[in-house]
Amino acid sequence: MPTSNGANSTVNGSSSSIANYDVVVVGAGFSGISALYNLRKLGMTARVFEAGGDFGGVWYWNRYPGARVDSETPFYQLNIPEVYQAWDFSCRFPDHKELRKYMAHIDKTLDLRKDTEFNAKVVEATWNTEAGRWTVKTEAGHVATCKYLILASGLLVKTHYPDFPGLAEYKGVIHHTGFWPENLSVKGKRVAVIGAGATSVQVVQELAKEAGQLTMFMRRPSYCIPMGQRKFTAEEQNSWKTYYDSLFKAGRLSKAGFPNRPPDIGTFDRTPEEREIIMEELWKHGAFNFLSGGFNNTMIDKEANRIVYDFWRKKTRARMSDPVKQDLMAPEEPPYFFGTKRIPLEHDYYEMLDQPSVEIINLNSNPLKTFTEKGMLMDDGRECEFDYVVLATGFESFTGSLTTMGLKNKDGVDMKDIWKDGVRTYLGMLCHGFPNAFLVYSPQAPTALSNGPTVIECQVEFVMETIAKLEKEKAKSIEPTREAQEEWKILLDSINDKTLFPFTSSWWTGGNIPGKKAENMTYVAGIPTYERTCREKLKDWEGFEVVAA
């Protein structure tokens, strides 16, 4: 089964060394690491191409102040015993620095580096139907062929730079949170943060402690809930490891990757007093427990959702003394349904916003007219002067990395053109016209609403089972039918339409990118249902076109 690793060939008329592998993996974050680890167990030759300078994916790039995972440990790690037995996280929610150390530990333990090329951004991937192989090229000059291509290029990669009027005129310093210079100090400086999503929450929370004056520009507030951060002792870390196997299995069987008790009562099954007790208890637990552990109708019933919002609003307003800021950040009428936009976790976000040195400007009531040399001119005629402008404006989620790597289907059409009118996949992992190409941590899967490593391992295992089955049957290639893709899209939307999610535009619908088709790109029925459906389709190749060797 394994393919030899070296061959000389001619590319575009010149002599070039082409490496041949069974599999090429694009990306060296959690997804790429999991793929490489499992491909080795299959006995396949593989090469990973990573655009960054080291392992980590999003955690290699995200170095802005406050960057921290909001999935709690021990669940935010890969279920690889030889890795976790020799590793201890220091706290419930590790920051970006600790997560890079964790990635280095995985590399050292598994010796991943020998099969990885860094600073190797993929710029072209094309399929040869006759040979039944992909050719992958990188910006650094690597050329490789493979039978299978695993696209583990990430959910939040392509940074979004809004086309603000006059931005080129601004003479101060501009940084996007996706490319933050480490050790930058804004002590005593005038800082603008544009955006109020999850990244902005983390940035504002930290920069407000240091800046002389900070102004946050927003359109909609985030509904933040307490993180419940705490340090771990070595003793409790060691004692937990006895139960890691059971915990990971329980996480895999849970809807979002965290094995908390799923809600089995509706909001109106309890008296107002009983509801209050339940919500108070969940609030104390921290993490996403308040969001996921309360009532089973919060995301499908508008009145039930409003009760949860009102409780959240009461808790949030109590942490601020400025009535104007209270109304901006926790208004009486909810701007959108609770839980239908990303719910960030925070430590002292609202206390930081409440400081006199922090201002909040609502761009809906006072839009940005233009940037100037010194700052920003607002619609009401006020000019705000800043030393630093921070763009917490997010990413082109789900599709950004896949539509910018020169990925072409078997007819030579680029993915960016195929998806320009909407995303189409089958099971969130394969696309018609792209034989033997697999997506991991992808659109049209439970990705945005799940613990990352849990859904990644679910998808990677499916990919490995598919490859093993193809090899056993001596197949040349696999791809889904157009009809299967359309049926998958219809299924996703039919499930989504029963919830309150369609009422809110957000990054997980692509609604944050001007000109991009806003659509549902998330499977909302949970990981176990998703995994069961995928395996049922795999059993008899339902929805697939399989070509014999």
**Domain boundaries, position 130:** 15-55+112-158+398-548
Residues 152, 211, single domain; the answer is: no
pLDDT tens for 345-379 read 999 999 999 999 999 999 999 999 999 999 999 99
Residue closest to 58 by CA, chosen among 447, 461, 531? 447
| Domain stop point among 370, 391, 412 | 391
Residues 378, 419, single domain; the answer is: no
Query: 82 in a domain, yes or no?
Result: no
Residue 380 has pLDDT above 60, yes or no: yes
| Domain stop point among 339, 373, 391 | 391
The pLDDT score that the predictor gives to residue 211 is: 98
Q: Which two tokens stand for residue 399?
A: 């599709």
Query: 193 in a domain, yes or no?
Result: yes
Percent of the chain with pLDDT over 70: 97
Residues 533, 470, single domain; the answer is: yes
Residue 248 main-chain phi, psi, to 5 deg: -65, -40
Query: 83 in a domain, yes or no?
Result: no
Residues 317, 413, single domain; the answer is: no
**Domain CATH for 44:** 3.50.50.60
pTM of the predicted model as reported, rounded to 2 decimal places: 0.94
The pLDDT score that the predictor gives to residue 394 is: 86
Query: 281 in a domain, yes or no?
Result: yes
| Domain stop point among 333, 358, 391 | 391
Residues 488, 363, single domain; the answer is: no
Q: Apex CA 36: angle with CA 31 and CA 42, to 5°?
A: 125
How many Å apart are CA 273 and CA 474, to the nearest integer?
Answer: 63
The pLDDT score that the predictor gives to residue 521 is: 92
Residues 353, 459, single domain; the answer is: no
Q: Is the Cβ–Cβ distance between 241 and 84 less than 8 Å?
A: yes
Q: Which two tokens stand for residue 491?
A: 């299924």
Residues 134, 197, single domain; the answer is: no
Residues 315, 385, single domain; the answer is: yes
pLDDT tens for 36-65 read 999 999 999 999 999 999 999 999 999 999
Query: 100 in a domain, yes or no?
Result: no
pLDDT tens for 71-112 read 999 999 999 999 999 999 999 999 999 999 999 999 999 999
Residue 183 has pLDDT above 90, yes or no: no
Residues 218, 135, single domain; the answer is: no
The pLDDT score that the predictor gives to residue 16 is: 55
Domain tally, the chain: 2
Q: Is the Cβ–Cβ distance between 190 and 212 less than 8 Å?
A: yes
Query: 65 in a domain, yes or no?
Result: no
